[in-house]
């Protein structure tokens, strides 16, 4: 049976699989990592699968229809996101009109949070696979290869013969992650690694997961609340190191690996063990990872020796009351300690700062910009809070009447960029976006920062392409 897995056409270089889906000002485009893992599982089960990333390739709906004409799939899987959902349903309807006998399955955080709403919005959508969907799609495909009785498939919602929506029991999270084939092998077979760019990594790179889930309770974070849960499930050290070896051998053009776990350093002993295994094997691939700011110098030092080049850290706010409101469970003083440790270890830092959180005021925003400049990470992003169904942040904004709109297409600007739809008393959504734009200019246009980056381009050729490409894209927005 043929299965067509699609990241649907929308804005060019739109990233559904990032934690706040949008077109990114620095030119970033994420791998469709969840679709790719599902592809690996389906291929392992013996199905013929085609994975297509339309926003990365620049494919439009006509291109997709032509590909489906040739491939003739029985099952078509569409990724979704909150800001693209109306477009995604439109894509499903166009495909259904052409191939009414194919099963159209939607996946992703948005449909996980609102399965009944999505199924009732269009008869073109046959099934929603909720939450972590790798094994759900596998079991569904096995069942559909025999008959269309869906009652035994955990993790799906669908319409019954009478039109009512049925929600099957929730699927348990995958425990043995080593059983899933390397996602990098899917990238090699189905995608073009040169299509993907992260402004904080060397180009080209690949993104993999060494574990799924996060034990922290940050109110805004999308993946743990909709896809992966709050327990950190880990691949074995050997399995992760084996994938590093695979990438080095089979994707020699790759210059860096992005470890996309929500928080790689949740288990610092494991991080050190992974470092030691990579060192033992003579790993030469640099890598970047997501981390909290409470990681020890010892852990950073070990990771650096193994190849860690940069950590991406969510500082979010310079106001401790805001940090408490969003359940960060960390203090501002720890941010300074962390940055000092990272500098001592020789690890670069990308700082994430967010505006519009519960309790936000102009004074708290001033503290955040001051913090960003004092921490002085190598790179920084300033984004308005993006609230999505399925998260505590969305429930907070909705319950308090802070949403400017309930139309999901309004979550983005007309060209696909992030846009705030949360307004506070005395701080409108427009004010929040303006603060982000002003903060970005204020941070990046500091004379010393510009001089440092100019010298880095000269003396660190490995960073040259990344800096120039991201700066070109970012300055387009800063100066327009």
The tens digit of pLDDT for each residue in 123-157 reads 999 999 999 999 999 999 999 998 889 999 999 99
CATH of domain 184-478: 3.80.30.20
Query: What value does the CA radius of gyration of the chain take, rounded to a whole number of Å?
Result: 22
Block residue for tokens 């050190």: 272
pLDDT above 60: residue 477: no
Across the range 31-56, mean pLDDT stands at: 99
Least Cα distance to 69 among 146, 10, 148, 4 occurs for 4
Question: CA 14, CA 16: separation in Å to the nearest integer?
Answer: 6
**Terminus-to-terminus CA distance in the chain, angstroms?**
50
Question: CA 334, CA 408: separation in Å to the nearest integer?
Answer: 37
pLDDT above 70: residue 465: no
Q: Are strands 127-129 and 103-107 parallel, antiparallel or unpaired?
A: parallel
Question: How large is the greatest C-alpha to C-alpha distance in the chain, in angstroms?
Answer: 68
pLDDT above 60: residue 28: yes
Query: Which two tokens mark 251?
Result: 């994707």
Question: CA 410, CA 396: separation in Å to the nearest integer?
Answer: 19
Phi, psi of 20 (to 5 degrees): -135, 90
pLDDT above 90: residue 450: no
Q: Are 204 and 253 in contact (CB under 8 A)?
A: yes
pLDDT above 90: residue 65: yes
pLDDT above 80: residue 464: no
Q: Which pLDDT score, from 0 to 100, does residue 26 have?
A: 81
SS3 383: strand
SS3 157: strand
Query: Which two tokens mark 353?
Result: 């700062």
Question: CA 413, CA 390: separation in Å to the nearest integer?
Answer: 22
Q: Which pLDDT score, from 0 to 100, does residue 461 have?
A: 74
Question: Model-level pTM?
Answer: 0.95
Q: 457: pLDDT confidence band, cut at 50, 70 and 90? A: confident
pLDDT above 80: residue 458: no
Q: 388: pLDDT confidence band, cut at 50, 70 and 90? A: very high
Least Cα distance to 157 among 135, 134, 136 occurs for 136
Same fold for the domain at 2-167 and the one at 184-478?
Answer: no
Q: Which pLDDT score, from 0 to 100, does residue 476 have?
A: 60
Q: Which of 35-44, 55-64, 85-94, 408-417 has the lowest mean pLDDT?
A: 408-417
Question: CA 118, CA 86: separation in Å to the nearest integer?
Answer: 10
Q: What is the DSSP secondary structure assignment for residue 174, as one 8-state letter?
A: P
What are the angstrom distances between the C-alpha of 3 and each of 41, 53, 237, 249, 440?
12, 14, 32, 29, 43
In the chain, DSSP finds a helix count (H) and a strand count (E) of: 19, 15
What are the angstrom distances between the C-alpha of 322 and each of 144, 301, 359?
49, 30, 6
Q: Which pLDDT score, from 0 to 100, does residue 449 have?
A: 83
Backbone region of residue 331 per phi and psi (left: phi > 0; alpha: psi in -120 to 50; beta: other values)? beta
Q: Are 425 and 403 in contact (CB under 8 A)?
A: no
What are the angstrom distances between the C-alpha of 426 and each of 362, 364, 423?
9, 13, 8
Domain extents in the chain: 2-167, 184-478
Q: Give 277-333 pLDDT, tens digit per residue.
A: 999 999 999 999 999 999 999 999 999 999 999 999 999 999 999 999 999 999 999
Q: 199: pLDDT confidence band, cut at 50, 70 and 90? A: confident
Question: CA 465, CA 468: separation in Å to the nearest integer?
Answer: 5
Q: Are 127 and 77 in contact (CB under 8 A)?
A: no
CATH fold, domain 2-167, is Rossmann fold (3.40.50)
């Amino acid at each position: 049976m043929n299965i067509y897995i699609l990241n649907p056409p929308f804005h060019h270089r739109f990233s559904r699989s990032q934690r706040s889906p949008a077109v990114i000002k620095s030119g970033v485009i994420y791998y469709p990592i969840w679709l790719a893992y599902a592809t690996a599982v389906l291929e392992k089960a013996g199905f013929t699968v085609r994975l297509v990333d339309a926003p990365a390739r620049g494919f439009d709906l006509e291109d997709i229809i032509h590909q489906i004409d040739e491939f003739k799939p029985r099952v078509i899987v569409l990724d979704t996101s909150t800001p693209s959902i109306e477009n995604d349903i439109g894509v499903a309807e166009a495909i259904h009109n052409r191939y009414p006998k194919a099963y159209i399955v939607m996946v992703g955080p948005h449909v996980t949070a609102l399965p009944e709403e999505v199924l009732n919005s269009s008869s073109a959508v046959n099934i929603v696979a909720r939450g972590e969907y790798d094994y759900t799609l596998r079991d569904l495909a096995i069942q559909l290869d025999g008959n269309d009785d869906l009652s035994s498939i955990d993790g799906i919602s669908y319409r019954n013969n009478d039109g009512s929506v049925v929600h099957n029991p929730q699927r348990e999270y995958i425990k043995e992650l080593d059983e899933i084939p390397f996602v990098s092998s899917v990238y090699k077979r189905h995608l073009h690694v040169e299509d993907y760019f992260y402004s904080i990594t060397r180009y080209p790179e690949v993104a993999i997961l060494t574990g799924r889930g996060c034990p922290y309770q940050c109110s805004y974070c999308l993946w743990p609340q909709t896809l992966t849960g709050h327990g950190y499930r880990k691949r074995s050290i050997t399995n992760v190191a084996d994938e590093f070896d695979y990438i080095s051998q089979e994707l020699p053009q790759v210059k860096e690996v992005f470890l996309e776990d929500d928080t790689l350093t949740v288990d610092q002993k494991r991080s050190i063990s992974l470092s030691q295994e990579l060192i033992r094997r003579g790993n030469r691939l640099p890598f970047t990872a997501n981390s909290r700011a409470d990681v020890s110098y010892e852990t950073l030092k070990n990771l650096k020796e193994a190849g860690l080049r940069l950590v991406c850290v969510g500082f979010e706010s310079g106001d401790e009351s805001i940090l408490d409101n969003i359940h960060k469970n960390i203090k501002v003083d720890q941010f300074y300690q962390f940055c000092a440790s990272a500098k001592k270890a020789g690890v670069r830092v990308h700082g994430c700062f967010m505006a519009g959180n519960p309790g936000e005021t102009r004074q708290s925003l001033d503290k955040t910009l001051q913090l960003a400049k004092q921490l002085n990470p190598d790179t920084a992003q300033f984004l308005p809070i993006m609230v999505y169904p399925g998260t505590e942040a969305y429930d907070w904004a909705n319950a308090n009447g802070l949403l400017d709109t309930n139309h999901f297409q309004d979550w983005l600007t007309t060209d696909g960029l992030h846009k705030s739809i949360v307004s506070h008393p005395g701080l409108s959504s427009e004010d929040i976006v303006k603060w982000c734009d002003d903060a970005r200019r204020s941070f990046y246009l500091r004379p010393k920062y510009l001089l440092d980056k100019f010298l880095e381009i000269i003396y660190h050729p490995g960073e040259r392409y990344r800096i120039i490409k991201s700066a070109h894209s970012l300055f387009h927005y800063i100066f327009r």
